[in-house]
Amino acid sequence: MSTAVETSQAHAAGEAEIATFYVGNQLMGVNIQQVQEINRHVKVTAVPHALDCVRGVINLRGEVVTVVDLRTILGLEQTEISDQSRNVIVKSRDEKIGLLVDRIADVESIRTEETEPPPANVSGVDGRFFKGIHKLESELLVILDVEEVLSTEGNEP
| Residue range 114-156, pLDDT digits in tens | 998 877 665 556 677 889 999 999 999 999 999 988 885 544 4
Percentage of the residues of the chain whose pLDDT score is greater than 90:
62
Is the pLDDT at 112 greater than 60, yes or no? yes
pLDDT number for residue 5: 44
Strand ranges for 4-156 from DSSP E:
15-23, 26-31, 35-39, 54-60, 63-69, 86-92, 95-101, 103-111, 121-122, 125-126, 130-135, 140-144
Cα 132–Cα 135–Cα 137 angle in degrees, nearest 5: 155
Largest CA distance in the chain: 47
Domain count, the chain: 1
**Chain mean pLDDT for the chain:** 85
pLDDT number for residue 155: 45
| Residue range 79-110, pLDDT digits in tens | 999 999 999 999 988 899 999 999 999 999 99
CATH number at residue 130: 2.40.50.180
Q: Where are the alpha helices (DSSP H) in 13-128?
A: 70-73
Range of the domain at 58: 4-155
> pTM for the full model?
0.83
Distance CA 58, CA 87 (A): 10
Provide the β-strand partners of residue 85: none
